Structure 1
Amino acid sequence: MDILAYTMEEILDPTNIIEGQRFEFLLDINVDEDDELYTEGGIEIRAIVAKKDDELALANYFITAKASGKLLDFALEDDEEEMILTFCKERIAAGE
């Protein structure tokens, strides 16, 4: 699994109900054909990263088929989640 491109946006909470910061990443993902995540046309992962007290965590993510926009019912493996979180941490740190 490779991240080809991404966008990052801070999610603002005007109500101040959510503690800390939230960032939304839209990741363009390339996976091998033999991977269970493989979908013709590619996939995107929308990842929500939470930052509180200098701790970052993957709060949630959604996997979508790029060609159809259909939400896929797959879960990432632990090492894939860690890879995405590490990628996001690096981009958040660079943006500060």
Structure 2
Amino acid sequence: MFTITGHRAEYIRDPYGIVPGERYEFHLDLEVEEDDELFSEQGVYIRVIYGVQDGKGGIVKYELYEKGQPDKYLDFELEDEELAETAAYCESHLPGSGA
């Protein structure tokens, strides 16, 4: 299990209207317990593409990374509870939502 400690978020522009709805890119900084297999001394973050269409939002794609020079992709999947927590966090922190 992890705790989201901060984020960066931005709206992804689609000037040609190829993708329906709106897309946002989030980088969520995580605090991971030392006994978790996801733990890293350098730190870990999730890159999330979050989509909103017709008033409904959800995670389109996510990737886990270990911070470093360069950042290292981690081949892990989030558990259902972690995925739900991540989606809720993104929903409540959409750029321009006042959160």
TM over 0.5, yes or no?
yes
Q: Shorter chain as normaliser: what TM range?
A: over 0.9
With over 3 angstroms needed to count, the CA separation of the structure-2 counterparts of 1:2 and 1:22, relative to structure 1, is: same
- TM-score, normalised to structure 1, is 0.93
What's the C-alpha RMSD, in Å, of the aligned pairs? 1.5
2:89 aligned partner: 87
Unmatched tracts of structure 1, length 5 or more: none
TM-score (norm 2): 0.90
Deviations 1:58-86 (A, max 9, x none): 00011110124011111111110100000
Deviation per CA, 1:9-48, whole angstroms, max 9, x where unpaired? 0001111110000011011111001112112211011101
Secondary structure at 2:85 match in 1: helix
Percent identity over paired residues: 36
Alpha-carbon distance between aligned partners in 2 of 1:27 and 1:93, rounded to the nearest angstrom = 14
Distance 1:16 1:93 in 2: 19
Cα pair 2:48 2:62 within 8 Å, conserved: yes
Runs of 4+ in structure 1 off by over 4 angstroms are none
Q: What residue is the counterpart of 1:70 in the other structure? A: 72
Aligned pairs, number: 96
Q: Which position in structure 2 is the counterpart of 1:31? A: 32
User: 1:93: Cα distance to partner?
Assistant: 7.8
Work out the CA distance in 2 between the residues paired with 1:73 and 1:93.
28
